[in-house]
Amino acid sequence: MTIATKEVISVEEKTTGPWREAWNGFKKSKAAIVGTAIVLFFVILAIFGPWIAPQGLNDQNMSIRLQAPSAEHWFGTDDYGRDILSRVIHGARLSLTVGFLSVIGSIIVGSILGIIAGYYGKWWDTIISRIFDIMLAFPSILLAIAIVAVLQPSLQNALIAIAIINIPTFGRLIRSKVLSVKQDEYIVAAKAIGMKDNRILISHILPNSMAPIIVQGTLAIATAILEAAALGFLGLGAQVPQAEWGRMLSDSKQYLTNAPWTLVFPGLAIMLTVLGFNLMGDGLRDALDPKMKN
């Protein structure tokens, strides 16, 4: 083999790989790009909300309460004369924070339990799997309501409840992936040469389980935002005067007929954010799943 050939092969190895192929496949999906753009838009709102919002979060002016959308107040005002656009922008931070943090917590706890159940098996698998089955037997929103009712209504407790109810989803996903991966030859070889279990889990099994975690995590953020909005609407999530989108819907439901803009814009924010994460998650699934590449 000539030097030039070796150099070409080296360059190809550097420019190709499963993650680069996944990125190239992701870019080909127009829906995924649109979803990513929507998500980035709301992330920017969440980060720079206090500087972007035209007015303060709780600036009140009762003389302009329930004012329709206008040049001065693009989304109109609510029953306290607060600018709805400003509150929707501030609400992006709360909703995305709950979505991201609850899913991260679910992934961490679910991955640990799923790895233990799948890798060590035996009675570990039996106990953990039965716990997952019991949790999945309850409708997720009802379980979240029960948890918040015990912990007392607040945004932080809603976040904890959402994280808990999503643990079985990630736990079962990781368990199934571990059961598949641990039978591969390189895992058997690692055990044969005396590699410790923790090193096998961290260096081999966990990295090879990342693709489904990323896909499910993206889709779970959309679900978490919806669940947070549902809890907020029921008065079990964010509390007054926090500008959480579900709470804004709850506070404005009595004005549906005479001031519909108070509900329309927070509802659109929820819809667009969830749509963005779903489109992005679908694109990631198509890009990372080998069965979908064709």
Structure tokens at 88: 């929707």
pLDDT tier at 221, thresholds 50, 70, 90: very high
CA quadruple 16, 18, 21, 22: dihedral, nearest 10? -150
The residue among 10 and 44 whose pLDDT is bigger is 44
CA quadruple 247, 252, 256, 260: dihedral, nearest 10? -90
Could you give the CA distance from residue 259 to residue 77 in angstroms, rounded to a whole number? 9
State the SS3 of 142-191: HHHHHHHHHHCCCHHHHHHHHHHHHHHHHHHHHHHHHHHHCCCHHHHHHH
Query: Would you say 85 and 75 are in contact if contact means Cβ atoms under 8 Å apart?
Result: yes
Domains by residue range for the chain, with CATH: 27-292 (1.10.3720.10)
Could you give the CA distance from residue 116 to residue 167 in angstroms, rounded to a whole number? 14
Q: How much of the chain, in percent, has pLDDT values that exceed 90?
A: 27
Cα-based angle 15, 20, 22 (whole degrees, multiple of 5): 155
Could you give the CA distance from residue 14 to residue 7 in angstroms, rounded to a whole number? 11
- From 105, 97, 115, 95, select the one nearest 225 (Cα to Cα): 95
pLDDT tier at 272, thresholds 50, 70, 90: very high
- From 15, 76, 90, 5, select the one nearest 265 (Cα to Cα): 76
**How high is the pLDDT of residue 11?**
47
**How high is the pLDDT of residue 2?**
54
Distances (CA, A) of 41 to 75, 96, 190, 273: 18, 12, 45, 9
| Orientation angle between helical segments 210-233 and 155-181, nearest 10 degrees | 160
pLDDT, tens digit (0-9, with 9 covering 90-100), for 18-43: 657 666 666 777 888 898 999 999 99
Q: Helix H segments across the chain?
A: 3-15, 18-27, 30-52, 84-115, 122-136, 140-151, 155-181, 185-192, 197-200, 210-233, 245-252, 261-288
pLDDT, tens digit (0-9, with 9 covering 90-100), for 241-271: 788 888 888 888 888 888 888 889 999 999 9
Taking the whole predicted model, whether its pTM rises above 0.95 is answered as no
Q: Please report, as a single letter, which amino acid is at residue 149.
A: A
Q: Which residues contact 150 (CB under 8 A, 6 or more apart)?
A: none
Please determine, for residue 1, whether its predicted confidence score (pLDDT) is greater than 60: no
Q: What's the chain's length in residues?
A: 294
Structure tokens at 112: 């640990």
